[in-house]
Amino acid sequence: MHNTPKQITDLDTLTARLREKTRHNDITIVAVCGFAGAGKTTLCRSILEALSDTAYHFECDRFSRYSFKEREKRIAEQIADIDTCADEENPRHWYDWNEIEKALDGLRKQRRFDFCRAWNPASGELNAHYALHLGEDEPDLVLCDGIFLLHEPVRDWFDATIYVDCPAPLRHSRGLQRAKDPERHAYMMHLERTYCEPYFREFSSCADDVYKSDASP
């Protein structure tokens, strides 16, 4: 049985816990997960600022199975097929988990990875180069920023897991600001209700720490 996650509301306390973990490992990889708009990236940036000499940011969103156009096409083609639509529409299946595992393995073994088929946020294509090279011969902390990082075997890739808990109204406000298009925002809310909420009901208790985030968007 998994232990009850430790509730943390103070950034200094969380940073101190992470600093202590890095003292016992050559490379410490920590999952920072939670709903879209929960403040995962903001938290990572705050920790990076506090631990600027030893911390690195790993973005799971750069590892996509398909380009944006290809993903939308696959969803549209199967939208009428009850048996297969969920597999295409579920955001958990948009990630290229094999490549994420390979990149994390590269960090542990060679302290680096280079990925030449990364998601390009500007175009939605898979034509970007994404790389991360750690420092040499010193303890390093890698913050792995992504939504779905608590299910097996994914959570076993990490030395620790943090679930970022944020009130739903604040998440939704941030989501509307990002989407800009009300129809797109409504679709993202559909995805949250259909896939993300059941995921975190099942797996949030598997996190080692729960960081309560209520900062402004």
Q: Is 217 inside any structural domain?
A: no
What pTM was estimated for this model as a whole?
Answer: 0.92
In a domain, 148, yes or no: yes
CB-CB contact of 146 with 157 (8 Å) = no
So what's the pLDDT on residue 5? 80
Beta bridge partners of 143: 30, 57
Taking only the tens of pLDDT, the chain with its 217 residues reads 456 788 998 999 999 999 998 888 899 999 999 999 999 999 999 999 999 888 999 999 999 999 999 999 988 887 766 665 568 889 999 999 999 999 999 999 999 999 999 999 999 999 999 999 998 878 899 999 999 999 999 999 999 999 999 999 999 888 888 877 888 889 899 999 999 999 999 999 999 999 998 754 3
- In this prediction, residue 23 carries a pLDDT of 85
1 within a domain of the structure (yes/no): no
Residue 164 domain boundaries: 6-211
Question: Strands, DSSP E only, in 69-152?
Answer: 112-118, 128-133, 140-145
Cα–Cα distance for residue pair 211/23, rounded to 1 Å: 21
CA angle 99, 105, 109 (to 5 degrees): 145
> Would 128 be classed as within a structural domain?
yes
198 part of a folded domain: yes
Q: Residue 1: its pLDDT value, please?
A: 45
Look at residue 80 in the predicted model and tell me its pLDDT: 64
Please name which of 155, 157, 45, 48 lies closest in space to residue 108, comparing C-alpha atoms.
157
Whether residue 216 lies inside any domain: the answer is no
In a domain, 33, yes or no: yes
Number of domains in the chain: 1
* Number of alpha carbons in the 13 Å side-chain half-sphere of residue 129: 2
Say what the pLDDT of residue 84 is.
56
Domain CATH for 100: 3.40.50.300
Residue 131, domain member (yes or no): yes
pLDDT of residue 217: 38
